[in-house]
Amino acid sequence: MTVAIGSMLVVLGTTGLMARGQGEADTGPQRLNMGAGWVTGVYYPLAGSMSRVAHAHIDDLSLTVESSGASVVNSNLIGSGDLDLAIVQNDVAYYAYNGLLREDFQRSPVTNMRGLFTLYPEPVQLVARADAGIRTPSDLAGKRVAVGPLGSGAEVNALQVLEAAGLTEGDLAAAERLEAGEAADYLRDGRVDAAFFTVGIGASVIADLAVAQRITVVSIDGEYADRLQAMEDFYARATIPADTYNQVGEARTIAVVSMVVAREDIPEEVIYRFVAGIFGNLDVIHSAHQAGRLVTLESALDGMPIPLHPGAERFFQEQGMR
């Protein structure tokens, strides 16, 4: 944030907006950072493609991408002012903004988070070793399970799936919080029996694992899906088609939606140009990952759980969508 006091210019905060001269507040060169997610997930390649769009097509805007545990930690870093933009799950954005569900969100609701646009569905993908005898979420009892990386939305979803199966972490032989790539390594080496990934279809963390190890994607459907949908509004039904991953059959599960958020104090003009630049160059996003092909203007406000940033509001108004 830049504040002019008399003729003196004071720059508050350490990241994001660069110091600029008076009168340039909305138009000078902007260097923003974006919290992405797992290097082996979809947020990270997609954020990379947004950075390329900014570099090639948006004047005076550059975007640095940071990998992270993902939705929960990204939300908290928006709250603390350490991130300018981030990709998060829409359920986590809702909990963060409204100060719900988790102690950290209850203590410090992320009220400075604003929505820009939604991206693509992220199914809860419960991956198990094919020989682990896990056919339903209830079969996780007594198993060693990677319940999502620390600070992830995947962990939020994993704990809700356990609850829908009438289980707590105490019913598992072990509940591990591993970085996504590490969870896949543990599964391959037999150090865990199953791992939760809430991630776009075709994420390399699962695709690569399926080549190295016989796995199944366990359906979370029927009574489990009913309970989860009753528990939280954000869950929709989703199908992961057979052969999405090497020799893995179809799975029916539940999904949330990923979205881009920004801090409310990023200038309207900057966010407007960013959003317009992304939707004017969707081919770059589409070619970054198969899940990126699901990003469309028509669906860009579907599942939006928090107020829009004024710059996004202006863009979607111009499109006749607000």
Give the nearest distance from C-beta 174 to ligand GLU in angstroms: 20
| Contacts (Cβ under 8 Å, ≥6 apart) of 309 | 114, 115, 116, 262, 264, 266, 268, 271
Give the nearest distance from C-beta 31 to ligand GLU in angstroms: 23
Q: Is 40 helix (H, G, I), strand (E, B) or coil?
A: coil
Among 154, 184, 210, 276, binds ligand GLU (CB under 6 A): 154
Residues 88, 77: Cα–Cα separation, whole Å: 11
Q: Tell whether residue 91 is a contact of ligand GLU (CB under 6 A).
A: no
Indicate the burial class of 7 (C-beta count within 10 angstroms; 0-12, 13-18, 19 or more): exposed
* CB closer to ligand GLU, 200 vs 267: 200
Residues 254, 3: Cα–Cα separation, whole Å: 46
Residues 237, 256: Cα–Cα separation, whole Å: 9
Give the nearest distance from C-beta 59 to ligand GLU in angstroms: 29
Residue position matching structure tokens 């996780």: 140
Residue nearest to ligand GLU (CB): 37
* CB closer to ligand GLU, 151 vs 277: 151
| Span from 13-21, 95-103, 166-174, 194-202 in contact with ligand GLU (CB under 6 A) | 194-202
How many residues in the shown chain lie near ligand GLU by CB under 6 A? 16
Residue type, 194: A
Give the nearest distance from C-beta 141 to ligand GLU in angstroms: 24
Give me the count of residues in the chain. Answer: 322
Residues 14, 28: Cα–Cα separation, whole Å: 17
* CB closer to ligand GLU, 30 vs 204: 204
CA distances from 132 to 135, 172, 195 (A): 9, 14, 12
Cα angle value 313/316/317 (rounded, 5°): 80
* CB closer to ligand GLU, 17 vs 261: 261
Among 2, 49, 71, 244, binds ligand GLU (CB under 6 A): 71
- Binding mask 123-152 toward ligand GLU (x if CB under 6 A, else -) reads -----------------------------x
Give the nearest distance from C-beta 244 to ligand GLU in angstroms: 15
What residues between 3 and 42 interact with ligand GLU by CB under 6 A?
37-38, 41-42
Residues that bind ligand GLU (CB under 6 A): 37-38, 41-44, 70-71, 89, 122, 152-154, 198-200
